[in-house]
């Protein structure tokens, strides 16, 4: 239905503009969620329900939640909003905006002139997508898998910290300098900061 | 189905759900009292059932206080999100052969999408309150729900493989000979555990753990806004119970009794199980919950997927 398509496209565009112009990071992210949902609605209206639902599950439901999580941890408050306000001067945004507007004009000209203005595309089956992925593009999929694995290993390495028992009876015995009777006074008293920090998720 | 019939079904489902959610307040207190050898609410009305009315009245007449330091609009929207998304999830559940609001062919995915949007209510509620306990609760809620969403989705994929469809009425119809709880025991267990974590019920109520975080993400809420979180939790229990019934325990299928009654009985059994869990289990620590999820449930559910896929391929030839 073209009406639904145009309504959701309008919502997507407005929400995305709001994302850019908000000073408070969380408000911007919330508009981003709305934008993703509008895009999902666009997919639904052109006959791709699977992609539409995936858009909500992955982007709106998982990735933006992670963004919000990070913003919450950084505790960006009103100070950042003031800073943003100072950054967002005409000098900064006029250049990119003019260039983007030129692209928009080109797009509109193409839309009015070209013959392929048909909005309704034939829906692509999930099965066909997966068969293409795992037959012709299998190397690309495998490479992406390697990349993700490297990311996981890296994150695990960064997040790793040795387990330390707070009670002295549970501590593992290590033959260190501290065991020698003469160096008793020089035992380095470690303030274990890692123990105090939040466990990395 | 005519339009009028459809509207009646929508209104009926909404009416029954809201009443169940309110009634669960009483049921839960009475059952907890029974299992913990106490009396429970027994003053207002027969067996204290009017406590529901008293509680609702109290919530309505409390001062609806928005703290001046809170982010006003997000603070107001947050409680509505949880009730809205959970109620939307009920759209796809077939209560009986013809009683379903919308039998989508992406039904299961729709359920997962809605449950992943429900996270926002906790996160935003915790953030907008501008209070350290609420923020801690919100952060715990975000990581807990994102993590357990993964296992929830993966645990259902075994059933989808065996059925070959995301449509819930197809899944129920595929259980005519044998329920999926026998074919997919690992999927059932992981789904139910993930369901508890998604509804952040005890023992996984880490976002609101009152003994350490006051009340977690809804510390600053009062009146009917708190009531929305409260009702949202009970609706969430009902949703997970109804989904478990539909996907693993044959939905409306059963001998002698009418289909809707079978659905109701099975769902209610799971709601009781939820309450029993609350009555009997202590709360794990936050890092224990995460470790349990990523180190035990994830490999388990992946293994389940692998074996299910292999067997399904082998049977089909």
From chain B, pick out residues whose CB is under 8 angstroms from the CB of A54.
109
Higher-pLDDT residue of A16, A50:
A16
pLDDT value, residue B64: 83
pLDDT value, residue A150: 92
**CB B90, CB B17: distance < 8 Å:** yes
pLDDT at A143 over 90: yes
Q: Is A69 on the interface with B (CB under 8 A)?
A: yes
**Residue A67 lies inside a defined structural domain of this protein:** yes
- The C-alpha of A58 sits at a distance from chain B's nearest C-alpha, in angstroms, of 8
**Residue A72 lies inside a defined structural domain of this protein:** yes
Residues A79 and A149 in one domain: no
Residues A10 and A95 in one domain: yes
Q: Is A60 on the interface with B (CB under 8 A)?
A: yes
pLDDT digits (tens, 9 = 90+) for A166-195: 776 766 655 555 555 555 555 555 555 545
pLDDT value, residue A197: 52
* A&B contacts, CB < 8 Å: 70
Instruction: From A25, A72, A58, A80, select the one nearest A201 (Cα to Cα).
Output: A72
From chain B, pick out residues whose CB is under 8 angstroms from the CB of A65.
116, 119-120, 123, 142, 145-146
Expressed as residue numbers, the domain containing A150 is 124-155
CATH of the domain at A97: 1.20.120.1200
Kindly determine whether residue B117 and residue A56, on different chains, have CB atoms separated by under 8 Å: yes
pLDDT digits (tens, 9 = 90+) for B116-175: 888 888 888 888 888 888 888 888 888 888 888 888 888 988 888 888 888 888 888 888
Q: Is B143 on the interface with A (CB under 8 A)?
A: yes
Higher-pLDDT residue of A88, B126:
B126
Higher-pLDDT residue of A162, B67:
B67
Residues A69 and A139 in one domain: no
Q: Is A145 on the interface with B (CB under 8 A)?
A: no
Kindly determine whether residue A72 and residue B127, on different chains, have CB atoms separated by under 8 Å: yes
From chain A, pick out residues whose CB is under 8 angstroms from the CB of B104.
49
**Residue A110 lies inside a defined structural domain of this protein:** no
Q: What is the pTM of this model?
A: 0.79
Residue with tokens 């609605």: A41
What ipTM is given for this predicted complex? 0.79
**Residue A68 lies inside a defined structural domain of this protein:** yes
From chain B, pick out residues whose CB is under 8 angstroms from the CB of A57.
109, 112-113, 116, 153
Residues A88 and A45 in one domain: yes
Query: Which range is most confident: A46-60, A170-184, B228-242?
Result: B228-242
Kindly determine whether residue B112 and residue A33, on different chains, have CB atoms separated by under 8 Å: no
Kindly determine whether residue B139 and residue A50, on different chains, have CB atoms separated by under 8 Å: no
Q: Is A14 on the interface with B (CB under 8 A)?
A: no
**Residue A74 lies inside a defined structural domain of this protein:** yes
pLDDT at B251 over 90: no
Residues A60 and A147 in one domain: no
Residues A1 and A98 in one domain: yes
- The C-alpha of A57 sits at a distance from chain B's nearest C-alpha, in angstroms, of 5
pLDDT value, residue A6: 87
């Amino acid at each position: 239905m073209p009406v639904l398509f145009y309504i959701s496209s309008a919502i997507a565009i407005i929400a995305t503009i709001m994302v850019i112009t908000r000073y408070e990071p969380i408000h911007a992210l919330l508009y981003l969620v709305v934008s993703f949902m509008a895009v999902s609605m666009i997919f639904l209206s052109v006959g791709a329900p699977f992609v539409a639902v995936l858009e909500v599950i992955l982007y709106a439901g998982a990735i933006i939640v992670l963004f919000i999580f990070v913003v919450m941890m950084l505790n960006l408050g009103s100070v950042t909003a003031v800073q943003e306000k100072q950054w967002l001067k005409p000098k900064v945004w006029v250049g990119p905006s003019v260039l983007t507007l030129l692209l928009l004009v080109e797009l509109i000209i193409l839309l009015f002139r070209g013959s392929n203005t048909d909005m309704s595309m034939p829906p692509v089956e999930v099965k066909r997508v997966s068969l293409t992925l795992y037959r012709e593009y299998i190397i690309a999929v495998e490479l992406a898998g390697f990349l993700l694995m490297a990311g996981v290993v890296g994150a695990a390495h960064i997040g790793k910290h040795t387990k330390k028992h707070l009670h002295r009876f549970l501590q593992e015995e290590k033959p260190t300098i501290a065991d020698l009777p003469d160096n008793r006074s020089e035992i380095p008293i470690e303030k274990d900061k890692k123990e105090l920090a939040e466990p990395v998720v | 189905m005519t339009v009028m019939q459809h509207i009646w079904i929508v209104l009926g489902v909404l009416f029954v759900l809201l009443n169940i959610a309110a009634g669960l307040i009483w049921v839960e207190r009475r059952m907890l009292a029974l299992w913990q050898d106490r009396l429970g609410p027994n003053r207002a009305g027969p067996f204290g059932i009017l406590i529901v009315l008293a509680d609702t009245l109290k919530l309505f007449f409390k001062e609806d206080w928005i703290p001046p330091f809170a982010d006003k609009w997000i603070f107001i929207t947050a409680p509505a999100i949880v009730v809205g998304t959970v109620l939307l999830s009920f759209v796809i559940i077939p209560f009986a052969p013809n009683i379903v609001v919308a039998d989508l062919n992406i039904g299961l995915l729709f359920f997962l999408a809605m449950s992943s949007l429900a996270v926002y209510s906790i996160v935003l509620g915790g953030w907008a309150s501008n209070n350290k306990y609420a923020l801690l609760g919100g952060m715990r809620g975000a990581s807990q729900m994102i993590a357990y969403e993964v296992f929830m989705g993966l645990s259902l994929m075994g059933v989808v493989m065996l059925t070959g469809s995301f449509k819930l009425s197809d899944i129920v119809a595929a259980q005519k000979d044998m329920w999926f709880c026998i074919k997919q025991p690992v999927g059932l267990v992981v789904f139910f555990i993930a369901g508890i974590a998604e509804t952040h019920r005890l023992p996984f109520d880490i976002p609101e753990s009152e003994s350490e975080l006051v009340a977690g993400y809804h510390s600053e809420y009062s009146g009917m806004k708190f009531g929305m979180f409260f009702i949202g939790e009970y609706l969430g229990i009902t949703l997970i119970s109804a989904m478990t019934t539909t996907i693993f325990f044959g939905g409306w299928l059963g001998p002698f009794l009418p289909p809707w009654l079978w659905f109701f009985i099975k769902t209610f059994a799971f709601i009781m199980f939820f309450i029993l869990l609350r009555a009997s289990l202590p709360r794990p620590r936050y890092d224990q919950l995460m470790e349990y999820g990523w180190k035990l449930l994830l490999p388990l559910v992946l293994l389940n997927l692998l074996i299910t896929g292999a067997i399904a391929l082998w049977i089909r030839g």
